[in-house]
Structure formats: structure tokens, C-alpha cells
Structure 1
Amino acid sequence: MLQKQDVYNLLYEHNIPFEITDHAPLFSMDDKPNVELLSPDRDAKNLFIRDHKRENYYMITVRGSKRVDLKTFRKDHQLKKISFASEEELWDILKIQPGHVSPFCLLHDTEHKVHYFIDSDYKEGLIGIHPNKNDATVWLKGADLIFLLEEQGTTVEYIEI
């Protein structure tokens, strides 16, 4: 399981430039008003969802200021009925606790069960995400994140939200 320092080491090993903002633990987007972020308009929130039969799992990453309507998302992507995955599913598949969800935890999904949807806003420029721990934000290019995930076998799809 990748701890925070393991994420940093992985980025160093791949020569991916990044910056770190250490801060108090953030459990939701509402927790950040007192945190000074490098690029507040580029921070991301992550949703881990599943279909009603627990056959398909998805992570959605969008800008923190955006709202994801799951009904519309389901229709737009021709998915079965979806809802948030349970804490147990989060741990079993991504080896992460609630409040720490990050695209980096997709690297724990060795069976590639999770289809990753990322806001097309992140095709260019920075993205700010937790390094599998909610007391820091890692800032890197969205394209570098996608490269890393695809190299590990994650299925990635850009979306418009």
C-alpha cells in the first residue's frame, strides 16, 4: 500500500515534477477555507461509486467547485444504477479510508476493477490531489497523473462536467 512518502518517491522515480502543500487534515471540500493552497481553482474532489450489482466501480475526479449529479452522470455514460461505494469496498479495492480518497489510490487496484473518469479541465495544467493522506495536497500536471495511472493499467476517460 502506498503511503504518502511512497507517492512522493513514485513521482521522483518517474521524474514527474510536483509541489506539496502540507495542511491540517481535510475530510471534505468544506474543510478547506482556512488552508492556503498553491492553486485553489485547480484542487480536485474524488467520488468512488459503484453500480447497484457491485460489478463495476468508478472513480470520478472533478474540480472542487463542481457538483456531480450522479443521475445525469449515469445517463450520460450509459451506466447501470449507481451509488457511492461502501467503506468496505473502498478498503477492499483501493486500500484507502474515507476522507483520503485520491487518484493515487487507484495504483492499489491491481485487478483494474475501477474505471477512472477525470474532468477534462485537467488535460492541461495542474491538479491538486491528496497523496493517499488528507493532510497534504500534491500539485502536478494532470497529464503526468494520467501517464502514471495508465502506465499501471488504469482505464482513464476524460469527461465534461
Structure 2
Amino acid sequence: MNKALDMLAAAGIAARTHEHRAVFTVAESEEVRHEMPGLHCKNLFLKPVKEAGPFCLATLKEDRRVSVNQLARLAGWPRVSMASADELRDALGVEPGSVTPLGLVNAAPGAVRFVLDAAIAEGDDPLWCHPLRNTASTAILPRDLRRFLEGLGHQVLVLDLTEGETR
């Protein structure tokens, strides 16, 4: 039983899950994706540095290189830093290494600001992300992910991050 997968199914959204060994980084995921064609992502779970406010989750194309503060500026967020493992567990109900946009099923609307990289949002290929655990990956069409999250009450901000990329 998996809350995110059950909710996708209840919403009538097609998703396909592939089981694999635990992966904690994009580099490790490259070793298990031979049966997972499509878009792959990395996820950043952030918190405001100097003010109370909602956490921030960014789902980026896996090879996107952008500083967290440049990302925050582009998204209109305050200055941010990486959130702690405890904050991640409390907000999204997942462990480090399992950060996923599907974790928003465990967050109240408005509790987490969400940004989706335009390079993903505008794609027609399936996006692979963890289904609340890093021992599997689930493929979902980006437009279906957006529709699903918006249906849960989460605003999805799509950003073109090419101008914020670092080399």
C-alpha cells in the first residue's frame, strides 16, 4: 500500500512503478534506470532562512545546475537553505534520499511552495520520481502530475531555469 500511488489511481491518473535498489542521489539512480526511459529529476527541499513561512520544494531536470538562492529569487521566495531531515519528515513524510513531488500528498495546501522546472513541465515524456520511497520510481506524465497536485490544492509554479543555471 502506498498513499501516493493509491491517490493517483483514485484520481484516474496513469502511473507505472519500477522497483529497484535504494538510490540516494542522481548519480546512483543512473545505475538503475536502464528500464526507465523518460525524464529524470532531482528534488530540493528548502526552508526560508530568516523568516517563518512555508517550505519550498523544487523538482528540477536531473542535470540542472542552479544555486538554491538563484532558484529562490526566480521563484519569488525569500533566501533559503536546505531543510533538515526532521523537517523533511514532518512536512512531506519522506526520508532523505526519497524527496519527491509526490510527497505533497502528505502536505496541507500552502504548507510547501512548489516549483517545477519548465524543461520537465513542458515535456511529453514520462517523469520518473520516487513514490514516497527511494526503492522504486514511478513514471507519470508531467501534465498529469501538475493536474494531480493542483487537484490536491497545491499551486504549481513552472519556471524556466535556464537563466539561473551555473556551470
- Corresponding letter in the other structure for 1:45: K
Does residue 41 of structure 2 align to residue 19 of structure 1? Answer: no
Structure 2, unaligned runs of 5 or more: 162-167
Q: Matched residues in 1 for 2:41 and 2:78: separation?
A: 25
Question: Aligned ranges for residues 47-58 of structure 1 at < 5 Å?
Answer: 47-52=44-49, 53-58=51-56
Q: Deviations over 1:84-106 (max 9, x none)?
A: 11112111211211111111111
- TM-score normalised by L of structure 1: 0.89
Q: CA deviation at 1:153?
A: 0.8
Matched, 1:152 2:152: yes
Change (3 A) 1:111 1:143: closer
Letter in 2 for 1:67: R
Q: Which residue in the other structure is 1:114 paired with?
A: 112
Residue pairs, 1:126-137, within 5 angstroms: 126-137=126-137
- For the aligned residue pairs, the C-alpha RMSD in angstroms reads 1.6
Name the residue aligned to 1:67. 65
Does the Cα contact within 8 Å between 1:114 and 1:155 map onto a contact in 2? no
1:19-60 deviations in Å (ceiling 9; x for gaps): 2221111111121232124225x0111100011124231100
Q: SS at the partner of 1:43?
A: strand
- TM-score, normalising length from structure 2? 0.86
Runs of 4 or more above 4 Å deviation? none
Instruction: Give 1:116 deviation, angstroms.
Output: 0.4
Deviation at 1:111, TM superposition (A): 5.0
State the SS of the aligned residue for 2:30: helix
5+ residue gaps, structure 1: none
- Mapped to 2, the partners of 1:45 and 1:59 lie a distance apart of 11
Q: 1:37 to 1:83 in 2, by over 3 A?
A: farther
